[in-house]
Structure 1
């Protein structure tokens, strides 16, 4: 048996472990029809294992550690491709984090740290399965003003060209009511109107006061619509 054969057997064992563990992580993702599923997570784990194993064989532990750092940054770019922003919502963060976990599992396998690789895979799978009911329960719970910082936005829809005239009036009326404006945003609404959003400073807001302000603005001839809403803070 040539000296390379034992190394080749060890490499095969490392890659097989990365393949199996990456596939186990990917099965859960594929079952839930996520962007990165069975094949992607398996390939990420195997790819990380190949790079780390190669560095370990050629340069020893120090070189393997350096390659692990490159694997982490490289998978970061791959994960960024799965993240999509749809309006105020961001999708794909969990998928990107799972890919990162698959790469970590593969890196452990490639470095012949088999027990850490198995443990890491178990924790990644557990995070995606055992914690899901907890997340769903929290998401279904109603928002509490005392436990969650809420953002309040007062909005006007006005004809184009009326924004400047209403800007000072809007700020003055809100400040008089005790709700200073933190930020003001405007964007086109339809073909001939503008939507103005006054984002209020976080505070205890009385909905009846904002309702009265909405009614006052709605009676102004240069205002097409006035309303307010609240959303959970970041």
Structure 2
């Protein structure tokens, strides 16, 4: 929306979880979208994720730095074309560190650099069930950037997929960071709002770029 009666403001839906609206400016959003389009190309490109039970995720995914598959990490796309995972760029890690400082303060900076990006693409019918980001060996804050269509982001608690949770509308350019007592909180995307992306971005659908610290050895497989 170009104008709103009440401007969106920084919010903390749970301890250690911070939503910062419009944190990425227009140029940063365009730069990040261009990068995502390059990363999505094969080899090791955008893929459909299949769960061990035989189901499929409706959001498609590409990884940088380490390849995530349910429920582990590898250096190659073991559940896809087998190609080496694309490298994690230093500039993206620096953006993540700036995001942590903005949301949680410099004291929340992890001792290790960000080295994983999970990039999920949602079309209008895609969604993500309640889950925890618990496959890493580090508890550094998770950094999440949104591009394109808005979504309902459901942020819960570390104990259960059920209530209590808070529904937050994430729009293009928004930042969401969760660490500390909320690092392992359940969260998901029950709904995308088709057609809500800013026209100037040129994106149909939603991209979510999530940064994590792996805590894994560089020579691990």
Question: Could you say whether these structures have the same fold, taking a TM-score greater than 0.5 normalized by the shorter chain as the test?
Answer: no
Greater gyration radius:
1
Q: Which has the higher helix share?
A: 1
Q: Which has the higher strand share?
A: 2
Q: Higher RCO, 1 or 2 (CA under 8 Å, sep at least 6)?
A: 2
